Structure 1
Amino acid sequence: MMANLFSSFDPSTSLYVPLNWSSTILCMIFIPYSFWLIPTRSSSVWKKILITLHKEFKTLLGPGMLGGTFIFISLFSLILYNNFLGLFPYIFTSTSHLVMTLTLALPLWLSFMIYGWINNTTHMLAHLVPQGTPPLLMPFMVCIETISNIIRPGTLAVRLAANMIAGHLLMTLLGNTGPTIPSSLLMMLLFTQILLLILESAVAIIQSYVFAVLSSLYSSEVT
């Protein structure tokens, strides 16, 4: 029995072994089969999505990042799989936990910063002062730009985790009211839950796309 409402998002709720995190690698079971089976409509649609993402990331990254699109396509696919797996009953949504989202965001941001400050120091210093800034405001702009740069991995991680946990929490709250409401309102509750499930499916796609696009934009600033 849950001690509180947020226990459903706790990765240590199992009895002996914390198997909740095993949902993160479930997508690896399904991916290899797409290379051996006869192409289907779903695999063709997925390939078209990947080609579209490749073209978009290639435009965002520019000519200086050859092969960089595959990093962000893989990141998009990983987050999308985990977001959708979390919509199934009794599967822990790993992307609703800050441990997972910070693990994705922090190494990416740190590698971009190390690469940029070592190879393009002048370019990175120029980013701290926007063009056309008055000389009197330059020290303040440097502080503001530095702080906004430092909190980028945190904002990426919190945005993904908060958006995933908010919808799941609302669905849990509505689901717990089912045994207590009159039978005349059950159909309305069921219809609301279906609408929320559709909304969460859209949020799962949008948040994975936003995470990948923002990461690619951060990387394009250091080249």
Structure 2
Amino acid sequence: MMTNLFSVFDPSSSLFNLSLNWLSTFIGLLMIPPMFWLMPSRYHIIWNSMLLTLHKEFKTLLGQSGHNGSTFIFISLFSMIMFNNFLGLFPYIFTSTSHMTMSLALALPLWLSFMMYGWINHTQHMFAHLVPQGTPAVLMPFMVCIETISNVIRPGTLAVRLTANMIAGHLLLTLLGNTGPSLSITLAMFLIVAQILLLVLESAVAIIQSYVFAVLSTLYSSEVN
């Protein structure tokens, strides 16, 4: 019996008493070998064009001060989150990105490394960021407090945004799916159509949320340079 509404997302799969929940994170690695074939497949061409577009966009966001090759960090981040989001749409596969353990483990080290790099190498620039240009002298102490708080909660907002969006759609799909056996055939047909539409929406959300996570991480990185 479910103890609460969110217990359907609790890890529960195991084999020979070995927990296999987080193994779903590595299933995406199975898709990498075909990318090394001599003749590129359609999947390879589409994936390469998508990564090239992301590289150009992240390069623009980072600006001239960005280090060479730094875009690959955010492209890898985007790829990993998108793979995990998509894998969670398949039945009986644990969605790792719907847990704060995963999303906070991605957001917190990134934010900490940006902050440490900024405060060590560009201390004056980081202090200048705490007071927006044109702020009256009277409001400066308040602006420093507000900017400090908004900076500190960044990893939390990154993690919660990803987790909440992944849980919300899965929860709706689960709740609608559980009502299926008790419905008539006519209503069940409508339910199937609704589930398919929701699944398409969740596929879009899987891409959008990974893109948002990567873009916001890039923006936070560009602020410390």
What's the TM-score bracket when you normalise by the shorter of the two chains? over 0.9
The DSSP-based 3-state class of the residue aligned with 2:18 is coil
Name stretches of at least 5 consecutive residues in structure 1 with no aligned partner: none
TM-aligned CA deviation for residue 125 of structure 1: 0.1
Report the more deviating stretch, 37-46 or 85-94. 37-46
Residues 141-197 of structure 1 show CA distances to partners (whole Å, capped at 9, x for unaligned) of 000000000000000000000000000000000000001111221110000000000
The 2-side partners of 1:30 and 1:83 are apart by 15
Tell me what 1:123 maps to: 125
Structural mapping, 1:142-181, within 5 Å: 142-181=144-183
The percentage of counterpart residues that share the same residue type is 74
The 2-side partners of 1:192 and 1:37 are apart by 42
Tell me what 1:211 maps to: 213
RMSD: 1.3
Amino acid at match of 1:43: H
The 2-side partners of 1:81 and 1:37 are apart by 24
The 2-side partners of 1:123 and 1:19 are apart by 46
Name stretches of at least 5 consecutive residues in structure 2 with no aligned partner: none
Tell me what 1:200 maps to: 202
Report the more deviating stretch, 125-134 or 60-69. 60-69
Amino acid at match of 2:202: E
Q: Contact conserved, 1:7 with 1:13, CA < 8 A, in 2?
A: no
Structural mapping, 1:21-100, within 5 Å: 21-36=22-37, 38-64=39-65, 65-100=67-102
Amino acid at match of 1:53: L
Amino acid at match of 1:49: M
TM-score, structure 2 normalization: 0.96
Report the more deviating stretch, 180-189 or 13-22. 13-22
Tell me what 1:134 maps to: 136
Report the more deviating stretch, 107-116 or 177-186. 177-186
The 1-side partners of 2:184 and 2:5 are apart by 23
Tell me what 1:10 maps to: 10
